[in-house]
């Protein structure tokens, strides 16, 4: 049976290759930091189930230390020049978008076929995990198609992948860290405490008021922290799960998905999200560094209201 472990092995091998190529990259002054960071990611994906809980804990502390104390650098793997890219782009035209479509198409079609034909009854793939397996398959097919079509150097997929992962840096691991933080919050009983507190404030049985508090809370927390990813585990633990899902029986998929999007409305309104709001103001040489935020508020507030209504009407059908 194809289990999730296969997907971990594929991703782990990719990170291992990133680590090895990092060691060899003399253009990056912090290459050992990059190698250690991606090496730990590879170790986690390839052997996480054999390291034991404490071993994994030390691994996370290692990642946090490397990322937190700025020990990663930016690499410059071999790639094409700007002029070469322009030439290829002209020659290949819009066909260049097609290989990118292979990945979502494989994931979608694979999942549908697996779930709605007898194929799924064979038990070939670990239950409920088929989308991830087809996602990996799609990525492999896309790389295969590109090898056959454009004949890049053998190492190009890994070098170009490393170029992108180094540009992202430690932020690549942050969502996983935040999810782990959410688990720790849950284990420590944070949700129970806040759930009780919120129930004391919001009148019992008022689903609509609770949805409003959840939606506005997501947006406000996101504005303070500059990041909906960080706000989500907090608000899910505080209100989303204990009240909307457990007490009022809201659809978890709707509460989760649209709750996150309510947070994105907050991202539009905060200078804390510098990459999205302050950096473009500087790039465009705006006189008012909050000019982009001001242009966004008129979209963000009505959209937040719509999201709150969506949660209310779609999660409590």
- CA 13, distance to chain mean position in Å, is 20
Taking alpha carbons only, the member of 83, 89, 159, 119 closest to residue 2 is: 119
Q: How far is the CB of 88 from another protein (least distance, A)?
A: 4
> Please, what is the end-to-end C-alpha distance for the chain in angstroms?
37
Which residues are CB-neighbours of 221 under 8 A, at least 6 positions away? Answer: 230, 231, 234, 235, 263, 266
Residues 219, 263: contact at Cβ < 8 Å?
Answer: yes
Q: How far is the CB of 60 from another protein (least distance, A)?
A: 5
- Residues numbered 71 to 130 that lie near another protein (CB under 8 A) are 74, 79-80, 84-90, 92-94, 96-97, 99-104, 107-108, 111, 128
- Residues numbered 168 to 207 that lie near another protein (CB under 8 A) are 168-191, 193-194
- Residues numbered 261 to 300 that lie near another protein (CB under 8 A) are 261, 264, 267-268, 272-273, 275-277, 279-281, 283-288, 291-292, 294-296, 298-299
Residues 203, 295: contact at Cβ < 8 Å?
Answer: no
Residues 215, 308: contact at Cβ < 8 Å?
Answer: yes
Q: How far is the CB of 43 from another protein (least distance, A)?
A: 11
- Residues numbered 50 to 79 that lie near another protein (CB under 8 A) are 51-61, 63-64, 67-70, 74, 79
Nearer to another protein, 10 or 212 (CB): 10
Q: In whole angstroms, give the CA distance from residue 317 to residue 315.
A: 6
Q: How far is the CB of 99 from another protein (least distance, A)?
A: 6
Nearer to another protein, 121 or 285 (CB): 285
- What is the total count of residues that contact another protein (CB under 8 A)? 155
- Residues numbered 206 to 265 that lie near another protein (CB under 8 A) are 221, 224-230, 232-234, 236, 238, 241, 245, 252-254, 256-261, 264
Q: Which of 152, 202, 216, 248 binds another protein (CB under 8 A)?
A: 152
Nearer to another protein, 33 or 182 (CB): 182
Q: Taking the CA atoms of 199, 203, 206 and 210 in sequence, report the sign of the dihedral they define.
A: negative
Which region among 19-27, 44-52, 201-209, 210-218 touches another protein (by CB under 8 A)? 44-52
301, containing H or E segment:
helix 291-315
CA distances from 276 to 33, 117, 266, 287 (A): 27, 43, 12, 17
């Amino acid at each position: 049976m194809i289990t999730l472990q296969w997907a971990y092995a594929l991703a782990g091998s990719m990170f291992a290759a990133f680590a090895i190529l990092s060691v060899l990259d003399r253009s990056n002054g912090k290459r050992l930091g990059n190698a250690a960071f991606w090496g730990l990611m590879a170790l986690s994906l390839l052997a996480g189930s054999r390291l034991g809980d404490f071993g994994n804990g030390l691994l996370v502390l290692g990642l946090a230390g490397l990322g937190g104390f700025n020990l990663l650098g930016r690499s410059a793997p071999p790639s094409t020049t700007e002029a070469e890219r322009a030439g290829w782009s002209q020659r290949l035209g819009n066909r260049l978008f097609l290989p990118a479509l292979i990945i979502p198409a494989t994931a979608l079609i694979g999942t549908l076929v697996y779930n709605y034909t007898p194929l799924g009854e064979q038990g070939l793939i670990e239950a409920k995990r088929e989308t991830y397996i087809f996602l990996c398959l799609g990525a492999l097919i896309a790389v295969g198609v590109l090898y056959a079509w454009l004949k890049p150097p053998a190492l190009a997929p890994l070098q170009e992948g490393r170029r992108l992962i180094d540009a992202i840096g430690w932020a690549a691991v942050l969502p996983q860290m935040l999810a782990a933080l959410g688990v720790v919050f849950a284990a420590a009983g944070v949700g129970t405490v806040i759930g009780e507190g919120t129930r004391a404030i919001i009148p019992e049985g008022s689903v609509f008021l609770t949805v409003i508090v959840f939606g506005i809370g997501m947006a406000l927390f996101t504005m303070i922290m500059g990041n909906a990813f960080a706000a989500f585990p907090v608000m899910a633990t505080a209100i989303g799960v204990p009240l909307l899902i457990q007490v009022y029986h809201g659809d978890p998929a709707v509460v989760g998905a649209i709750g996150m999007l309510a947070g994105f409305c907050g991202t539009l309104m905060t200078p804390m999200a510098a990459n999205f709001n302050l950096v473009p103001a500087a790039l465009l040489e705006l006189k008012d560094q909050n000019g982009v935020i001001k242009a966004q508020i008129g979209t963000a507030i009505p959209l937040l209201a719509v999201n709150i209504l969506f949660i209310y009407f779609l999660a409590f059908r």
